[in-house]
Amino acid sequence: MSSGGRKVFALVVSVAAVILLDQASKAALVASLEPGRSVTVIPRVLDLTHTTNTGAAFGLLQGSSGLVVMFALLVVTTLLVWFFWTREGRHLLMFVGLGLVVGGALGNLVDRLFRGRVIDFIDFKWWPVFNVADIAIVVGVGLIVLRTALDLFAEQREQSEKGAGGATRDA
């Protein structure tokens, strides 16, 4: 398999894995815990709390499910088009990061389309309740930002080395 083929494969596997893990975790929660109920995992730190969200991340835009669906589709489409348009020379980490973001967005989109709301359940007492898809989105964005920063630093170092190599001293 070519390097480009491996990268696209990593993207597809990342998307599929996130959707599968997200939907499986939500199905297990729905089967075992009634809405509004909690189970303590680590006292005063982490609960599994069955909640739903009709808005965007962290409970923003509650009741705007249609708007959120359209925005999610626009973002996913834009990311994929931009990414594949500019994919030449991109690092594997960028493909995995994009796969996590797209998989997370699609995982939550499946909830919106089939349930009318997103199921959230990971409840750290000091943070809004979230789910596996949300984790994937945050980690994916982090990988993309990290890889972009590393690429920019490498490019700057390369340019400064070229500039230093061409410099001459006046005697």
Asked if pLDDT for residue 120 goes beyond 80, the answer is: yes
Rounded (10°) angle between helices 65-85 and 92-115: 160
Calpha distance 151→145 (Å, rounded): 10
42 or 57: which carries more pLDDT confidence? 42
| Domain assignments of the chain as residue spans, ordered by start | 3-160
- For the stretch 13-34, pLDDT in tens is 999 999 999 999 999 999 999 9
- What is the reported pTM? 0.81
- Residues annotated as catalytic are 120, 134
